[in-house]
Amino acid sequence: MKHDSPQDIAIEIAASRFAALGSEQRLAVLNALVRAGKDGLSIGELGARAGVTGSTLTHHLKILAQADLVTQTRQGRTIICAAADYSQVEDLSRFLLRQCCADSPSKDHDHG
């Protein structure tokens, strides 16, 4: 699911990532990881912060990892989860906004 240019995210990639975020629990997991920063969280701490534990957390992490939104690395006996490169999340926002107001007769497309 890698791509060359963040501005050129394919609709298939965007759809896959949005689908991965289509669960309140998965969104809570990603939000907890984004809030934690680049160092990430252990699975136990992530579960506590996101309110999702056990096999449910494992299931959601698998879906988020397949969408390239979460990474998992082993540090000794601990698995550390982190939000993937934040550009992946930013790409989704740019995907939605890149053609903002393109079909509007108004030329004032102030979307930041």
Strands (E), 27-95: 41-42, 70-75, 78-83
pLDDT confidence of residue 3: 42
- Does the domain at 8-97 match CATH 1.10.10.410? Answer given as no
As a whole number of angstroms, the distance between CA 77 and CA 40 comes to 15
The arithmetic mean of pLDDT across residues 64-74, rounded, is: 93
Domain ranges of the chain: 8-97
Please name which of 49, 45, 43, 44 lies closest in space to residue 65, comparing C-alpha atoms: 43
pTM exceeds cut of 0.85: no
pLDDT confidence of residue 1: 41
Sign of CA dihedral 55, 50, 92, 104: positive
pLDDT tens-digit map of 73-92: 999 999 999 987 777 878 88
pLDDT value at 25 more than 90: yes
